[in-house]
Amino acid sequence: ETEVDTTRSYWSMKRALQRIQKVFPPSSVQQQRAVTTGSTPTINFLKGHPSPKYLPTEDLSHALQMAAKKAKSGEMELSYTANEGPKPFRQALAEFISCECKGDEGANNTCRKDGLFVTGGVSHGLDLACCVFGGGPGKVILAESPSYFLAFEIFRFHGLRVIGLPSDAYGIVVDEIEKIIQSLGPGKVSLVYLVPTHSNPSATTLAQKRREKLVALAAKHGFKILADEVYHMLDWGSAVDESKYKRPGRMAVLDHLYHTESSVKEVEEYEVPDGTQGSATETGHVLGISSFAKILCPGMRLGWIEAAPSLISMLSNHPYVLSGGGVAPLQAQVGHELLKSGRQAGHLSMLQREYYLRSKTLYEAVLKFPHLMIPAGGAENSQVCGGYFMWVKVVPTSVDTVSLQKIAREKFKVDFLPGERCHPEADKKKEYRGHLRLCFAYMEISELAEGVERLAAAIAHATA
Ligand SMILES: Cc1ncc(COP(=O)(O)O)c(C=O)c1O
């Protein structure tokens, strides 16, 4: 890893924008667009949803028909399934992940068939991981800052204290972890949460060397890593920069037990956990938590946790899993049809192509306005390489994006997420008062440039 000069890309971007400013002086922005009123529809950069146009209506209906045939012929598993989820689905999922990630950085990115636990999506996976590994009230989770704001409440619900972990253009600053652990004392930090690839909201990707260092720290200090990899496969870095781009590998494969540990015995029906099941003296440290929400559709409510078998076994022994068996067996069997038919892979390629075009359009639109700056991104030039979002800093920094949102919504019919929401600590939210998050996935490509013009006009209005 080239150790990062965090401000380098920021300031070179600023210089470039200052040049652009000569071409588009702020006053021209103000004149360019009068306040939009009346029935003009809002351009919504706030919603972190997929484009309604790309919901997989055909693919899903095909998979449901295939699954319905199996249900009728008795081939479908309709009783309690394995605690980890239906085995044929996990096998097909492992093959899909291995295939999609084979070009990633790192020595061995193959997904283990017995290294997957089926969940009801990332949100459910995070909640389950907190139940099993959080340690309860009094423990601390270090969360990437800025990051996915809805995750913070899941952690707090488990009584965990959430402390922000700073990040720069290459993801979380891993060296900060030991400093925080030393200040809190040993045994306090049970979890570290991050979105390592194409983060929400910053679009940054954690560099491979930092990933390795993070996993080594987890083993040294005994915390577990919750790697929210919901955007890992929604990636188009090679379209942005074919010669240099290489996506870092998934976090779970870096766990020293992931490839070496032998399979843990699956729990038999009515077996009473004897305290040794799933509590091997040495367990893995990394949970890669992902789902079909961004690569297919959120409504599937289907996801997975990828980890060394010792951790999978601990998840399988959670009391509600022991009571109810696998979490989402029916969705998993529909998902299996999508994987088997190749339609999931086809859908993902389509999303990569379309969202690449949207992200590029938004990027080019933002570059035109000097008071919208992209402080960090997936590539050297700050162009987004995957995911749903662009993180923007508003200049002048005196602009408070919470107040700006009100003006933007009411007078300019454009919406976004104020940066404050993305800070994990309530009393430090002001650090991001000059930032905002734009989602390029939800709006039509033809609306993106117009949305940025409206936003620029709202800023000009707020600073006039
Ligand atoms: C980083 C991140 N994690 C998790 C989720 C939610 O995932 P799921 O729908 O699988 O629960 C989102 C959705 O926006 C997200 O951005």
The answer, yes or no, to whether any atom of ligand 1 lies below 6 A from the CB of 56, is: no
pLDDT-derived band at 195 (thresholds 50, 70, 90) equals: very high
The answer, yes or no, to whether any atom of ligand 1 lies below 6 A from the CB of 302, is: no
Average pLDDT over residues 424-451: 97
Higher pLDDT, 278 or 292: 292
Average pLDDT over residues 154-165: 98
Ligand 1 mean position, distance from CA 267 (Å): 29
Q: What is the DSSP string of 369-431?
A: -TTEE----SSTT----BSSEEEEEESSTT--HHHHHHHHHHHH-EE-EEGGGG-SSGGGGGG
Please check the confidence at residue 435 and state whether its pLDDT lies above 70.
Answer: yes
The separation between CA 221 and the C-alpha centre of its own chain, rounded to angstroms, equals 25
Q: Which domains does the chain have, with CATH numbers?
A: 8-54+346-463 (3.90.1150.10), 57-342 (3.40.640.10)
Average pLDDT over residues 296-300: 98
Ligand 1 mean position, distance from CA 103 (Å): 24
Residue 102 structure tokens: 């084979």
The answer, yes or no, to whether any atom of ligand 1 lies below 6 A from the CB of 121, is: yes
> Which residue among 118, 123, 421 is best mutated to probe the pocket of ligand 1, counting the most ligand atoms within 8 A of its Cβ?
123
Please check the confidence at residue 1 and state whether its pLDDT lies above 90.
Answer: no
Looking from the CA of residue 123, the nearest atom of ligand 1 is 11
Ligand 1 mean position, distance from CA 35 (Å): 34
Determine the pLDDT at residue 375. 75
Please check the confidence at residue 253 and state whether its pLDDT lies above 50.
Answer: yes
Determine the pLDDT at residue 358. 97
What is the tens place of the pLDDT at every residue in 255-282? 999 999 888 766 566 666 555 554 556 8
**C-alpha to C-alpha distance for 90 and 95, rounded to whole angstroms:** 9
The answer, yes or no, to whether any atom of ligand 1 lies below 6 A from the CB of 120, is: no
Please check the confidence at residue 288 and state whether its pLDDT lies above 50.
Answer: yes
The answer, yes or no, to whether any atom of ligand 1 lies below 6 A from the CB of 165, is: no
Q: What is the mean pLDDT of the chain?
A: 89
Determine the pLDDT at residue 22. 44
What is the tens place of the pLDDT at every residue in 110-132? 999 999 999 999 999 999 999 99
**C-alpha to C-alpha distance for 247 and 379, rounded to whole angstroms:** 11
Average pLDDT over residues 443-455: 97
Looking from the CA of residue 124, the nearest atom of ligand 1 is 11
Neighbours of 260 (CB within 10 A): 8
The separation between CA 113 and the C-alpha centre of its own chain, rounded to angstroms, equals 23
Average pLDDT over residues 342-360: 97
> Which residue among 46, 118, 122 is best mutated to probe the pocket of ligand 1, counting the most ligand atoms within 8 A of its Cβ?
122
Are 58 and 350 spatial neighbours (Cβ–Cβ below 8 Å)? no
Lookup result for tokens 């086809």: 346
Ligand 1 mean position, distance from CA 448 (Å): 23
φ and ψ at residue 2, rounded to 5 degrees: -75, 120
Nearest to 450 by CA among 356, 365, 359: 365
**C-alpha to C-alpha distance for 140 and 135, rounded to whole angstroms:** 9
Determine the pLDDT at residue 429. 96
Are 3 and 174 spatial neighbours (Cβ–Cβ below 8 Å)? no
Average pLDDT over residues 82-97: 97
Average pLDDT over residues 158-179: 96
Looking from the CA of residue 303, the nearest atom of ligand 1 is 10
Determine the pLDDT at residue 264. 72
The answer, yes or no, to whether any atom of ligand 1 lies below 6 A from the CB of 417, is: no
- Show Cβ contacts of residue 221 under 8 Å, excluding neighbours closer than 6 positions: 177, 178, 181, 186, 189
Lookup result for tokens 């009100």: 406
Average pLDDT over residues 88-103: 98
The answer, yes or no, to whether any atom of ligand 1 lies below 6 A from the CB of 200, is: yes
Instruction: Please state at what angle helix 122-133 crosses helix 149-157, rounded to 10 degrees.
Output: 30
CA dihedral 74, 76, 77, 82 (to 10 degrees): 150
Are 234 and 355 spatial neighbours (Cβ–Cβ below 8 Å)? yes
Ligand 1 mean position, distance from CA 289 (Å): 10
- The C-alpha angle 38, 448, 245, rounded to 5 degrees, equals 165
Residue closest via CA to ligand 1's atom 13 equals 48
Residue 399 structure tokens: 């602009």
> Which residue among 294, 295, 389, 417 is best mutated to probe the pocket of ligand 1, counting the most ligand atoms within 8 A of its Cβ?
294
The answer, yes or no, to whether any atom of ligand 1 lies below 6 A from the CB of 295, is: no
